[in-house]
Structure formats: C-alpha cells, structure tokens
Amino acid sequence: MPFDRGQVSFARFTTPVMGSMVGEESLDRLAEFAFRETEIGEPPEIEAGWVAGRHVYDTTFDHEQCVFDSGAIAHFGLRIDTNRVPAEIKRAIRAQHEAALLADSPDGRLGRGTRKELRDVIDAAMRSELVDGKHRRSKMIPLLWHPGQRCLLSASGAASVAESLRERWRMTFENHLEACTSGRLAYDVLSARGESRAFEDLTPTAFTQHPDNYVPRADEEGGPWQQSGSTPPVVWALKSPEPRDFIGNEFLLWLWERSETCRGEFALKDGGDAAAAVHLVIDGTIEMSCPWGATGSMTLKAEVGEAAPSRSPEASEGLASGKWPRRIGVTLADGDEVWRLSLQGDRWLVSGCVLPETDEEFATPRDQAEWRFDRILHLDRILLRLFESFLLERVGSAWPSRRDQIRTWIRGRRRTGSERPAQMIEPKSSAPAAVEAEHA
C-alpha cells in the first residue's frame, strides 16, 4: 500500500546515524544506484534498484519529488523485478521440444544423447525467453525515510523484499539496515538505557498453566532459555532470527489488559516529567495462537454492529486456554486525531491503517502528502513509546505483581463472560505440527 494515499501498511527498519536531513548527497547516491535493467544477456532472477516513487520507471531524484518537511523526510521506492519462467511455460516448452525429437526417433524413444540434446535445447529456449523480457515482473515498494528518527518504513514486510532492501541499502550507503521486529526494538530500547543485561534475561511469561496436551518437543531444547513445563516455548518466536520476538506478543496482551482495566488510557512520558495521554481500544479482528504449540490458532473477526471481538466469550476462552495475541485491530486516539490499524506484535508490522481525518484544505497534492507522512511517522512514535512503557514495566521489579494482575484478569474474564459472541474462524488444527507449519 502506498504512503501518499489510501490505507497504509508498513514494516520498520532502523538506519545508522546519517544526520538529521536528506541532502543532495543522499539523492545523488540514490540516483547512482537507481534501477537499471540488465542490457546484455540473460538477466538475473532478481533485479532491484531505487526509483523516485511516482511509478516503476521514475528515476528523477530531486527535492521537489522526493524530499518533504524541509528536508526531514524522504519518500521514494524500491523497484524489484523478477525474471522467472513460470512452471507452466517450462512444461510447455519441454513438451514441444520432446515431441519434435520423438517424431524423428525410429523407435519412438529418446536415447541418452538425445536426452542431453533435449536438456540443452530447453535451457537455450528458457534463456531466450528471459533475454526477450517475456517473463519480467516489476513491482515498486514505497519507502518513507526519516533519518532524524533513524527509521525507514517499507510498505511491504515480506522477507524477500527485506532482503533486497537491505542489500541495496548496503550498496548505496555502505552501512546496514536492521529489520525492527519486536525483539530488535526491545534490544534498542533497553541497551540505550544501559540495560542490555535485562534484555538477555528476558524469558517468556507464563500467564496461564500449560495446556493439558502439551508435551515439550525435541526442537525446543537448547533454545535461548531453559525450557521447562512452566515456560511457554513460543514456537513462532523460536523460528524467528530474533527468538525474543515473543516480547511483542506479551506487549499486545499488556495492551489488551490495560485497555479494559484502565479505560484504555496510557500516559506516555516524552522526556522530563510531563506525560501525554493517548487512548487505545481493541475493537478489530484478533488473531491468537498457542505459544505452547498445543491448542492451535484462531481468528476472531470484527463485524459491523457487533460487540468487539476482544469482549467475546471466544476471546476469553482463548486467553484462558493459554493463547496469546499475534495480531490485534485497534483504534488509537491522540487528542482529536484517531488512527485505526492492525498490529502484529512479534514482527512489528502495521497493516490496514486508516489515518486521522482532517478538514484542512491542501493547496497542492504535495502538501497533502506531507501531512500524511507526518501522521504516519507520528503514529510510529506513539507505538514506540507505548512499547517502551511496557518494556520498562516488563524488566522492572514490579513485573511479578503485574504478571499476577494479568493472570487474575484472564481468569476473571472467563468467569464473567462477555457481551456477545464474535464470529470465530475455527482453529486450523490442535496438532503442534500444524501450528508450526502455519507460522513457518
């Protein structure tokens, strides 16, 4: 989804310190490593390069097009082309050439030499298809860069996109991007406060007892924390490059509990003693999974005119059975401004975000785009400050007491029930292997 119109989705990357403004030098570097098709011979399977953001052919990197907020923000894109012959075309080419060779065979069979000839002919035909550009597929990934906040927002969080983005950034600026999953964000926040050891000591919290059918499996042994029957392994986090990404799921559960027990009000300190209040309610679709890998996953869908899924009996049962939220739909308000979005906690992905409404009349499309970029980055800051508030509580001495409060809240929800049932998509499987496959 683009940043300059419609709903917004983004993954977050941390950039090295590169100053606070986007200057002429940065634009020159982007232009130097702009997208260029391979001109001679067979192109590589994946080609990537920068574009200026209007479309996949736009490589005019200038201030009017790419730089906003007096140089604080840059908006551009990454073009990724895939050169790959589809499987159906491969089969068709093979069938055609095989039929031609069989027609010339006296016994209707292919000898060893003929089979080698067939392979060579097929390879040559494939290369010809690629050189002619018949199977080139192009896409543009919009990017929003704020060097002062050391962040780059990508409109796609796909692993293949992240790989191309990191590689192209390294070539262009000779430094590295870091994908901001929740574990990485937690490390950045705690290490900046001199609490790196607190990050290393993080282990998953058991908010409930393990399910009756839970049996520790061999692939959970030797993880970053001592596995026992009382500590959930958080199967999806163990498969992540940063196993402490589970902290993002605990964050979502913390938001959920606070949104119900504290009227959804969060006081966020921004340096000094002053605190700004934001309000958050969980009123969108909720995806939940069992961190023990024992009771599967479920999705509670938000329906117009129905009670929020977070208040449903199915949600209470899911929490009581040990499930954690993977993704939640929220409405977030800062004063008169309201955002609606979904947040995946472990991977720190924002999706389907509807920006605040405004009565402002913009003189130009550029002015409107600049206003949108500012609202997107403001949302990013609010989410980070909420996460930091949770982390400081999570590693603080009062966490055992807060953990017990959340446990009590989970038990209390099950006893009291809720307003109305939510539409539930049944768990895909209760088998541990099926859960692992779903989140692989």
pLDDT in tens, 120-170: 888 888 888 888 888 889 999 999 999 999 999 999 999 999 999 999 999
Question: Please, which contacts does 263-266 make with residues 24 or more away whose CB atoms are closer than 8 Å?
Answer: 266/386, 266/389
- Indicate whether 326 pLDDT > 50: yes
Do 100 and 20 lie in one domain? The reply is: no
Percent of all residues in the chain with a pLDDT value above 70, rounded to a whole number = 89
CA separation for the pair 208, 220 (Å, rounded): 19
pLDDT bucket at 108, cuts 50 / 70 / 90 = low
pLDDT bucket at 425, cuts 50 / 70 / 90 = very low
Tell me, yes or no, whether 2 lies in a domain: no
Tell me, yes or no, whether 109 lies in a domain: yes
CA 185 to chain centre: 13
pLDDT bucket at 50, cuts 50 / 70 / 90 = very high
pLDDT bucket at 341, cuts 50 / 70 / 90 = very high
Both structure tokens of 328: 């939640």
What pLDDT is attached to residue 436? 31
Average pLDDT, the chain: 87
In the three-class reduction of DSSP (H, G, I as helix; E, B as strand; rest coil), residue 263 is classed as coil
Residues 209 and 377: beta-carbon distance below 8 Å: no
Tell me, yes or no, whether 20 lies in a domain: yes
What pLDDT is attached to residue 344? 98
Residue of 282, 288, 257, 287 whose CA lies nearest to 408: 257
Do 153 and 210 lie in one domain? The reply is: no
Do 39 and 115 lie in one domain? The reply is: no
Do 16 and 144 lie in one domain? The reply is: yes
CA separation for the pair 163, 175 (Å, rounded): 14
Tell me, yes or no, whether 3 lies in a domain: no
Do 297 and 171 lie in one domain? The reply is: no
Query: What DSSP string describes 170-233?
Result: HHHHSS--EE--HHHHHHHHHHHTT-HHHHHT-----SSPPPTT----GGGTTSSS---TTS--
- Indicate whether 195 pLDDT > 90: yes
Tell me, yes or no, whether 63 lies in a domain: yes
CA 54 to chain centre: 24
Do 223 and 338 lie in one domain? The reply is: yes
Do 310 and 264 lie in one domain? The reply is: yes
CA separation for the pair 134, 192 (Å, rounded): 50
- Indicate whether 371 pLDDT > 90: yes
| pLDDT tens sequence across 208-254 | 998 888 877 655 544 555 555 578 999 999 888 899 999 999 999 99
CA 220 to chain centre: 24
Do 374 and 244 lie in one domain? The reply is: yes
CA separation for the pair 214, 435 (Å, rounded): 13
What pLDDT is attached to residue 243? 92
Task: Give the structural domain span for 40.
Answer: 8-84+135-179
Do 64 and 49 lie in one domain? The reply is: yes
CA separation for the pair 240, 439 (Å, rounded): 10
Percent of all residues in the chain with a pLDDT value above 90, rounded to a whole number = 65
**Residue finishing a domain among 121, 146, 179:** 179
Residues 300 and 438: beta-carbon distance below 8 Å: no
In the three-class reduction of DSSP (H, G, I as helix; E, B as strand; rest coil), residue 436 is classed as helix
CA separation for the pair 296, 309 (Å, rounded): 18
Residue of 155, 97, 85 whose CA lies nearest to 126: 85
Residues 190 and 182: beta-carbon distance below 8 Å: no
Do 305 and 379 lie in one domain? The reply is: yes
**Least confident among 159-163, 176-180, 213-217, 434-438:** 434-438
Tell me, yes or no, whether 221 lies in a domain: yes
Do 161 and 65 lie in one domain? The reply is: yes
What pLDDT is attached to residue 24? 92
b/e string for 78-88 if b means 16 or more Cβ within 10 A?
Answer: bbbbbbebeee
pLDDT bucket at 1, cuts 50 / 70 / 90 = low
Tell me, yes or no, whether 380 lies in a domain: yes
Sequence-distant (6+) residues with CB within 8 A of 253 are 207, 324, 325, 406
Do 140 and 127 lie in one domain? The reply is: no
Tell me, yes or no, whether 213 lies in a domain: yes
Task: Count the domains in the chain.
Answer: 3
